[in-house]
Amino acid sequence: MPDRSHEKGLPGPVAGVDEAGRGPLAGPVVAAAVILPERGGPRGLDDSKKLTAKKRADLYPRIMDCAAVGVGIVEADEIDRLNIYWATMKAMTLAVDALARELGHAPGHVLVDGNRLPRWTYAATALVGGDAKSVSIAAASIIAKETRDAIMIAHADTWPHYGWASNKGYGSAAHLAALRDHGPTPQHRRSFAPVAQVELPFTTTG
């Protein structure tokens, strides 16, 4: 389980940063930056991928109620322009920028899940597997995942063929079949091979 050992000894406040949505064929990539209270905070924080949907949904408002949070979103068309790596770096930067605006100053240090850091001026450390090691990053992973899932569920109302309420834009069999039948939507990442290979243009009557 993640703990606070990686936050200890760093100049505070320490923010954890993680992203959701690198792999899907549709929708944005979303990053969150979270500063938990020094004491207390929600119990049961863990890597969002290890939690049930019910547990994530339970933890989301509890994190939002007690923590300082910033969110960064990069949409599909910009993912296509930048590529997914740089879009993810941008989403993380936007998230920390938003957090800094909420605080009125930069975080003392940023812990980022992964092995790379964005090109920014914040004092930061990359932590591989950080969402399973640091409670701050675990909290960020939950906020990013829940935020992105809510976006995809909303998009499913507009484009119902693709099953985004359940697959969240990932390349499930049903999503791929709908992509072949109806073509890509404005929410699809056209630089991703399964989308680029589809020749049918999306129409509003599709």
Annotated binding site for a divalent metal cation, which residues?
18-19, 113
- Lookup result for tokens 């509003």: 204
State the burial class of residue 43 (Cβ atoms within 10 Å of its Cβ: 0-12, 13-18, 19+): exposed
| Phi, psi of 189, rounded to the nearest 5 degrees | -90, 100
Token readout for 189 is 């990442």
Beta-ladder partners of 3: 134
**Residues in binding site:** 18-19, 113
Asked if residue 33 lies in contact with residue 120, where contact means CB atoms within 8 angstroms, the answer is: no
Radius of gyration of the chain (CA): 18
Token readout for 190 is 């056209």
Asked if residue 61 lies in contact with residue 175, where contact means CB atoms within 8 angstroms, the answer is: no
